[in-house]
């Protein structure tokens, strides 16, 4: 009975942030991250992970955090969202992250009287900062009534929270604190609204690291994250080590499909991996999706052959469209779809000028459409004068659906 259960269990894991059975093509990034951890505090580094949807960014970041925790770091993770675009909301979120880190330290260590007092002092500070950031009218810093000062800027408040948290972490024998933010492209500064949460975060972390505070920042998101950071602080390019993830490289693109099947003691045709690669182009989510769909479509003892794959391929593609592409297209207007199809005529990216000619719009109209599609996470600018899809093989999907002329 045990053998039958193991044979029928699907080894593939398509989904958001689900750890795959075989982590392909990421060993170099993991070794490099381990060196970053070893460099603290003399050589502090931060990490920026960017890439299209479904390339495995979140999975890699999860492996980062596991390595860091094993090495004695305190890691706090959060998925950011547009609701944190206001300084007060973002500040409260970061201070809550610091409070979580302190609670984790206190649970894992039987604190001495001295450590307990330091912990209470740090929590009191975070509580005061929370009140200040919420704009209730009191501030955490004591000032004389005769010489009132303006409320501390967000940069200083975040620095105080980070410094206090890392000080307690070091006192408790931990190496430091890692702030890990996924979907970080959704938070950006806005000069129009006079809200600068991203600038405040970078300023606080940079100051902390200059002063020897053991804190690391990991931000992960779609390609626009790089531009958002650069607009927030010109030194962001020097502040982050960049990990740009794309399709899996050969032979790992095939190994990601083949290894889970072989580990499950299932037979398959030698050429099947190449057929799957032709459809998935090595994008991690698509490989997992194809593997899971093919596995479920076959009977437990049936060999996985190229012939059966070709028979099932139309149904797998249709299922991929429903699961990955259709909902994204449904979020667009008619004019936005025209622009998407104009890109797809050239494949997965195209020149902005060519796209403008194809949709027959002027420069201002085209730029507004592009801005809306970037905000929806469907396109990005890989270069100044080019547009590309933020979803792997979205152009192939539009062509397969018959939405693109020619």
Given 279, 295, 328, the domain boundary residue is 328
Q: What is the pLDDT of residue 109?
A: 56
- Residues 51 and 183 placed together within one structural domain of the fold: yes
Is 151 exposed, middle or buried, given 0-12, 13-18 or 19+ CB atoms closer than 10 A?
A: middle
- Residues 231 and 271 placed together within one structural domain of the fold: no
Q: What is the pLDDT of residue 271?
A: 95
pLDDT, averaged per 10 consecutive residues of the chain (406 residues), comes to 57 92 95 95 94 96 97 96 94 93 75 61 82 59 42 85 92 93 96 94 97 96 95 95 96 96 92 96 96 94 93 96 95 96 96 95 92 94 93 95 86
Q: Is 14 among the domain residues?
A: no
What digits encode the pLDDT tens for the residues 365-386? 999 999 999 999 999 999 989 9
User: Residue 362 is part of a domain; what is its CATH number?
Assistant: 1.10.10.10
- Residues 64 and 197 placed together within one structural domain of the fold: yes
Q: Is 22 among the domain residues?
A: no
Q: How many domains does the chain have?
A: 3
CA 307 – CA 398 distance, rounded (Å): 26
Q: What is the pLDDT of residue 3?
A: 45
- State the sign of the Cα–Cα–Cα–Cα dihedral 103, 105, 107, 111: negative
Given 297, 328, 359, the domain boundary residue is 328
Is 377 exposed, middle or buried, given 0-12, 13-18 or 19+ CB atoms closer than 10 A?
A: buried
- Kindly state the tokens that stand for 112: 């001495």
CA 226 – CA 221 distance, rounded (Å): 9
Q: What is the pLDDT of residue 261?
A: 94
Q: Compute the mean pLDDT over every residue in the chain, rounded to the nearest whole number.
A: 90
- Residues 205 and 136 placed together within one structural domain of the fold: yes
- Residues 176 and 65 placed together within one structural domain of the fold: yes
- Residues 286 and 224 placed together within one structural domain of the fold: no
- Residues 240 and 258 placed together within one structural domain of the fold: no
Q: What is the pLDDT of residue 114?
A: 53
- Residues 110 and 144 placed together within one structural domain of the fold: yes
- Residues 373 and 291 placed together within one structural domain of the fold: no
> Angle 306-320/272-280 helices, nearest 10 degrees?
20
Domain hosting 168: range is 27-245
What digits encode the pLDDT tens for the residues 143-181? 344 444 445 689 999 999 999 999 999 888 899 999 999
CA-to-CA separations, 234 to 161, 199, 383, in angstroms, rounded: 24, 10, 18
- Residues 218 and 341 placed together within one structural domain of the fold: no
Length of the chain (residues): 406
CA-to-CA separations, 238 to 32, 108, 197, 235, 384, in angstroms, rounded: 17, 35, 19, 5, 21
What digits encode the pLDDT tens for the residues 69-99? 999 999 999 999 999 999 999 999 999 999 9
- State the sign of the Cα–Cα–Cα–Cα dihedral 340, 343, 345, 349: negative
- State the sign of the Cα–Cα–Cα–Cα dihedral 243, 247, 252, 257: positive
What digits encode the pLDDT tens for the residues 1-25? 444 444 578 999 999 889 999 999 9
- Residues 196 and 179 placed together within one structural domain of the fold: yes
User: Residue 53 is part of a domain; what is its CATH number?
Assistant: 3.40.50.300
Q: Which helix (H) or strand (E) holds 386?
A: strand 386-389
Strand-pair partners of 304: 268
- Residues 192 and 123 placed together within one structural domain of the fold: yes
- Decide: 40 and 233 in contact? Cβ < 8 Å: no
């Amino acid at each position: 009975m045990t053998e039958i259960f193991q044979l029928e269990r699907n080894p593939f894991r398509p989904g958001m942030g689900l750890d795959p059975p075989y982590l392909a093509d990421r060993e170099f990034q993991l070794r490099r991250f381990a060196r970053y951890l070893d460099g603290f505090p003399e050589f502090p580094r931060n990490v920026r992970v960017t890439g299209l949807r479904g390339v495995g960014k979140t999975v890699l970041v999860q492996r980062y955090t596991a390595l860091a925790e094993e090495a004695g770091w305190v890691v706090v993770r959060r998925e950011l969202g547009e609701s944190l675009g206001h300084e007060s909301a973002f500040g409260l979120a970061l201070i809550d992250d610091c409070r979580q880190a302190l609670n984790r330290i206190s649970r894992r260590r039987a604190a001495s009287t001295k450590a307990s007092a330091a912990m209470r002092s740090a929590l009191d500070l975070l509580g005061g900062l929370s009140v200040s950031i919420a704009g209730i009218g009191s501030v955490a810093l004591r000032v004389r009534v005769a010489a009132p000062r303006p409320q501390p800027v967000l940069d200083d408040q975040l620095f105080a929270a980070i410094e206090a948290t890392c000080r307690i972490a070091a006192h408790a024998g931990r190496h430091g604190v890692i702030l890990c933010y996924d979907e970080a492209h959704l938070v950006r500064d806005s000069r129009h609204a006079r809200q600068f949460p991203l600038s405040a975060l970078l300023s606080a972390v940079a100051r902390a690291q200059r002063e020897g505070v053991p804190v690391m920042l990991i931000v992960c998101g779609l390609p626009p994250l790089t531009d958002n950071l650069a607009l927030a602080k010109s030194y962001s390019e020097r502040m982050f080590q960049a990990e740009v993830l794309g399709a899996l490289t050969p032979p790992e693109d095939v190994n990601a499909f083949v290894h889970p099947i072989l580990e499950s003691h299932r037979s398959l045709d030698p050429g099947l991996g190449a057929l799957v690669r032709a459809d998935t182009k090595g994008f991690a989510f698509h490989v997992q999706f194809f593997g899971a769909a093919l596995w479920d479509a076959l009977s437990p003892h049936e060999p996985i052959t190229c012939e059966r794959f070709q028979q099932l391929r139309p149904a797998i593609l249709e299922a991929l469209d429903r699961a990955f592409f259709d909902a994204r297209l449904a979020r667009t207007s008619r004019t936005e779809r025209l622009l998407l199809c104009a890109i797809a005529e050239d494949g997965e990216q195209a020149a902005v000028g060519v796209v403008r000619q194809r949709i027959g719009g002027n420069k201002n109209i085209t730029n507004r459409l592009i801005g809306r599609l970037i905000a929806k996470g469907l396109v990005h600018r890989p270069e100044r004068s080019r547009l590309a899809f933020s979803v792997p093989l979205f152009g192939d999907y539009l062509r397969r659906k018959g939405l693109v002329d020619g």
